[in-house]
Structure 1
Amino acid sequence: MMKASIWAVLAVPAMLAGCGDNRSPAQDAADVAEIRAMHDNPPAVPIDPERISYTDIEKNDLFGAGCGFAPENSLSVIALAQPERGFLKIDGAIVTLSPDKGGASLPMSSWQNYAGSDYAFELKQLPGEGEESGVESTSWPGSLTITDAKGKAVYQSEGTLQCGA
């Protein structure tokens, strides 16, 4: 008698689970695929690129002609684009990126796109008149988009693109 009641206790929840659920195996498979996709392709983790200071420029020999980007309402450059390399500062470290020389160019022989192993950035010169902002520099409206290694946007801002020697 004891064995029969144990089986009844175990079988009832299994039978009840199947009673009210009209889900098809295809719906279950779709749900499983969606959860796997979220696991295998997690959302982008936003970053906050830091100001590239003059000390950073001296310490890492970042001198040279090119373009710098400062976000809106800031004078702090957070991305540098030069003819042979691009730079970001993330978590206190200077990150060096390579230019896409087959893509669009910017003033001062710099490029619109730069990529590295962990991040890439796209620097755009937006429509608008350039203004002389120094003896050998000009500023335009610009935008910066930084993506992670999977191509997901982790930072985006409009601001000022300043190019000069």
Structure 2
Amino acid sequence: MIVRKFTPLLIVALALGACSEAASETEMQAENAAMADRVREANEAGLPLREVVPEAITYPDIESHDLLGRACSYAPGTSMGVRVIAREVDAYMKIDGEMVRFAADPGSRELPANSRTLYNSRQYALRLAIDEKIPGDETEDTMYGGTMWLYDQLDRVVYTGSGTVSCGG
């Protein structure tokens, strides 16, 4: 009779003993190293690169954001459609139908019309460069060759364009 009472307890005790075998120290280290590698890979992968194609800034955009006055306007290639308007304290670019405002980096190098080489927004960074003055330019504004780069939050180039820069105001 005593054997019958203790048989279920013996079975439960054996089952718990089998489940409670702890992994060895080397197994735990291997599991931890594998998990650390998976986390490192996930962190290094980052977000997928999303190329940006800025749209031309129209006159209604200029009026609604009060962008008239002293500035440099960047147009890529031979296009007359301005993609960036850079001023002393800010710059604007039209991305996905929205006018995106960039704040000037006051520590960056100054360009003509008191514009700057670096501007930052919440999602992007904008870098501008101006080359030599275009020869034979007799207009009121000064014309240069120039390049613009747009960087994402991971400091990857998502747009670059070279063309004409008109500075004045």
Call closer, same or farther: CA 1:100–1:134 in 2, change over 3 Å: farther
TM-score, length-scaled by structure 1: 0.74
Contact 1:132 1:138 in 2 (8 A): no
1:59-74 superposed matches below 5 A? 59-74=64-79
Call closer, same or farther: CA 1:32–1:93 in 2, change over 3 Å: same
Unaligned runs of 5+ in 1: 1-23
Matched, 1:104 2:109: yes
Of 45, 52, 59, 1:54 maps to 59
Give the aligned CA root-mean-square deviation in angstroms.
2.3
Of 128, 140, 146, 1:142 maps to 146
Higher strand proportion: 1
Residue identity over aligned pairs, in percent, reads 31
Alpha-carbon deviations, 1:100-129, whole Å to 9, x = none?
Answer: 111111101111111011111111012x33
Which stretches of structure 1, 4 residues or more, deviate above 6 A after TM superposition?
27-31
Q: Does the residue aligned with 2:49 lie in a helix, a strand or coil?
A: coil
Q: Does the residue aligned with 1:105 lie in a helix, a strand or coil?
A: coil
Please report how far the alpha carbon of residue 74 of structure 1 lies from its aligned counterpart in structure 2 after TM superposition.
0.7
Of 145, 154, 160, 2:158 maps to 154
Contact 2:133 2:142 in 1 (8 A): no
TM-score, length-scaled by structure 2: 0.73
Unaligned runs of 5+ in 2: 1-29
Count residues with an aligned counterpart.
140
Aligned to 1:15: none
Matched, 1:32 2:38: yes
Alpha-carbon deviations, 1:21-71, whole Å to 9, x = none?
Answer: xxx99x9679736641454x1232101101001111012211110101000
Q: Distance in 2 between matches of 1:73 and 1:34?
A: 44
Q: Distance in 1 between matches of 2:65 and 2:136?
A: 27
